[in-house]
Every structure is written in structure tokens, then in C-alpha cells.
């Protein structure tokens, strides 16, 4: 599900608190109109909190296209694509071009060698390219001496992909 256990514990505690509060309200000896009014206000406040403070909360499963304006210099969103390129990358590039959006593509060397025309297009359209290496082998705890043979050969192959400069490496995964 993506969220850390602490986040899920907080969410469950919040939901439990709401249920206990509603149970207390609806068993209290107060007029029904007051109960309904207070329940509606609580639902509106809870919805506002959920939409503003819970990451990616949307009961309909939609993607949030509008971001808070408090990010550096206005609204910002980093879009990344992983493990390409593939034949489907061309369709992704069409959509990005249609909306004048730039993204970062973390490529696997084997896939870049299979689809050099897509890599050329990535470069030509101004996207950022980073190399995972040949695989997703975890290198974050490896020494430089052990990790360099995993990522340096793919970086040297960048000329085969028509890249004018060698792209960066994602050291966490290769």
C-alpha cells in the first residue's frame, strides 16, 4: 500500500476516534437535529483535513493534478519513469509533448540498447536521463569499488544511445 506502518497506525487511530465520537454523540440525550448538524460539520471538517493533509487521498482514486502553491517558486511536480525505455515509451512521450512537460527517465542499459531511437527522442525533447545500470541490484550499501563495475559500463555505452554527455546514476538501485 505504500505508506509506512506509523502512517497506517495514525490513520486507524483517527478513524477510531471519529467512530467513538460519533457513537458518543448518537447515544447522547440531545435532539436529533443537533446530532445531524454536528455529524455533517464533522464530515466536512474530516473531508477537508483528508484532502489537504493525507498524501494522495482521493476516495474516487483520481490523480491530484493541482498541488499546493507553497512549494519552491510555485507549483512543482517531478515526474519520473522507471526501467525503460520500452515500445510504450513513445506513447508516453507523445502525451508529455502535448502538455509541454519534461520528465526524468531512469533507464536500464539493456532496454536502452534495445530501443536507441526512443533514447534519442528522449534527449531530443529535453528530458533528463539517468541510468539504473543493467539491473535493479541494490547498491546503496556497497562500496564504490564493488558498485562501480555495475554502473560504469552502462554509462560508457551512452555514446551508443546518442547521448552527448553521460547521464547520472541512481546509486540506490544501480
Those residues whose C-beta lies under 8 Å from the C-beta of residue 129, and which sit 6 or more positions away, are: 104, 105, 107, 119, 122, 123, 163, 167
CATH number of the domain encompassing residue 144: 3.20.20.370
Indicate the number of domains in the chain: 2
84 shares its domain with 165: yes
- Residue 20 to residues 11, 16, 110, 139, Cα–Cα distance (Å): 14, 6, 55, 47
β-strand pairing of 80-84 with 104-108:
parallel
42 shares its domain with 92: no
119 shares its domain with 165: yes
49 shares its domain with 84: no
* Per-residue model confidence as pLDDT tens digits over 54-104: 655 555 555 555 555 555 566 667 888 888 899 899 999 999 999 888 998
Whole-number percent of the chain with pLDDT over 90? 17
* Per-residue model confidence as pLDDT tens digits over 77-89: 788 888 889 989 9
Domain span at residue 153 reads 80-169
Amino acid at each position: 500500500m505504500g505508506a509506512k506502518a506509523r502512517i497506517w497506525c495514525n490513520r486507524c487511530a483517527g478513524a477510531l476516534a471519529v467512530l467513538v465520537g460519533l457513537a458518543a454523540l448518537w447515544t447522547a440525550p440531545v435532539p436529533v437535529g443537533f446530532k445531524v448538524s454536528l455529524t455533517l460539520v464533522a464530515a466536512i471538517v474530516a473531508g477537508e483535513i483528508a484532502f489537504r493533509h493525507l498524501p494522495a487521498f482521493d476516495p474516487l482514486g483520481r490523480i491530484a493534478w493541482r498541488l499546493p502553491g507553497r512549494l519552491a517558486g510555485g507549483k512543482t511536480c517531478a515526474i519520473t519513469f522507471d526501467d525503460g525505455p520500452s515500445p510504450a515509451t513513445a506513447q508516453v512521450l507523445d502525451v508529455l509533448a502535448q502538455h509541454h512537460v519534461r520528465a526524468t527517465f531512469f533507464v536500464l542499459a539493456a532496454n536502452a540498447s534495445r530501443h536507441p531511437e526512443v533514447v534519442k527522442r528522449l534527449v531530443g525533447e529535453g528530458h533528463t536521463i539517468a541510468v539504473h545500470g543493467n539491473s535493479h541490484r541494490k547498491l546503496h550499501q556497497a562500496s564504490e569499488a564493488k558498485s562501480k563495475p555495475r554502473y560504469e559500463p552502462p554509462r560508457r555505452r551512452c555514446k551508443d544511445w546518442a547521448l552527448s554527455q553521460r547521464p547520472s546514476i541512481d546509486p540506490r538501485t544501480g
